Amino acid sequence: MSLFHQLEAIFQVAIQYGILMLECTGACVLLTTSVRSILRYIKKDFHVQLFLAQGIALSLEFKLGGEVLRTVIVRQQSELFILGAVILLRGALTFLIHWEIKNEEERIKA
- Per residue in 29-81, pLDDT (tens digit) is 999 999 999 999 999 988 899 999 999 999 999 999 998 898 888 888 888 88
Whole-model pTM: value is 0.83
In this predicted structure, the answer to whether residue 1 has a pLDDT above a threshold of 80 is no
CA distances to 92, 95, 105 from 61, rounded to whole Å, are: 11, 10, 20
CA atoms within 13 A on the CB side of 92: 6
Instruction: Answer whether 57's CB lies under 8 Å from 29's CB.
Output: no
- Per residue in 7-37, pLDDT (tens digit) is 988 999 999 999 999 999 999 999 999 999 9
Instruction: Answer whether 60's CB lies under 8 Å from 96's CB.
Output: no
